[in-house]
Chains A and B, each alone.
Chain A
């Protein structure tokens, strides 16, 4: 199946700093990627839909100025958490569809990035 990677796998930062998380589709092109956030022992909540070459679509309640998403190429989307605070500590996961595989309904997920803000 298609492979999605994330970098870094974990990051610790000080409050007030910005953190960038990369999501890459390794063997396919992804015009659309999704960013999720998951708090401990909870489910995944969709934050935004990242569209290559255009602005991201954010879910209700997600601050677009705090969570900057850039989908600069067909294989890379980045999520930048600006001025991070301890409440932003979470597990961030990206996903993408591989239309080239003929499977239009299966999202392939990255391994996730654990962010801890001190």
Chain B
């Protein structure tokens, strides 16, 4: 009964490289959320996806960042041409389609800590 899986747990990139972060939701979950935690700050929402659809990307930077959740396989958060300011912990959460009195609880993964040199 695995929870939300994220890999890698730690990722080091040099400025200008690409970072790919993966998230496998809990079994049976079809909703995925990505959050970013900068040092000394709380988590900030980035994007909400369902299978093959981006539902809400209001928290995504307009450039260099993209996310997908294909029909098969994990959700991917991609950061192109990384800069030092992208260094942060990136958390993925998932929830089920079924609603518990109108509220879906989000279950979080362990996060990927991205360090940009």
Q: Do A and B bind each other?
A: no
Residues of A within 8 A of B (CB): none
Residues of B within 8 A of A (CB): none
